[in-house]
Amino acid sequence: MPRPKAVPATDMNYWEMACSILVGLRQAVSKAQAEHGAIRAANPGKMFVSEASIAADTCDVLREAERVLDRELSKVARSSSLPFPEQGNT
């Protein structure tokens, strides 16, 4: 399936851009988790793999950013009747 074309930032309003950032964070978390798992699977029995550590640390940072942005944008969306990207729609 072809990837949808990215919408230029100049064609988005502030809310669409903020929601796009949230969706991108969700995708980055998912990708970081998958890559971390692949690194661990490729190095069975090794207690420390530097690439896995970097992926895990990055994933933690992304998860925290996603958690905060999700919570705060969700509040704004509810109080203002704005559309909000649901978790499953990323």
pLDDT at 88: 63
pLDDT in tens, 9-47: 678 899 999 999 999 999 999 999 999 999 999 999 898
Reduced to 3 states, what is the DSSP secondary structure of residue 67? helix
Integer-rounded Cα Rg, in Å, for the chain is 16
Report which of residues 48 and 9 the model is more confident about: 48
Q: What is the torsion angle, in degrees rounded to the nearest 10, for the CA atoms of residue 83, residue 87, residue 89 and residue 90?
A: 110
CB 85 within 8 A of CB 52: no
Residue type for position 77: A
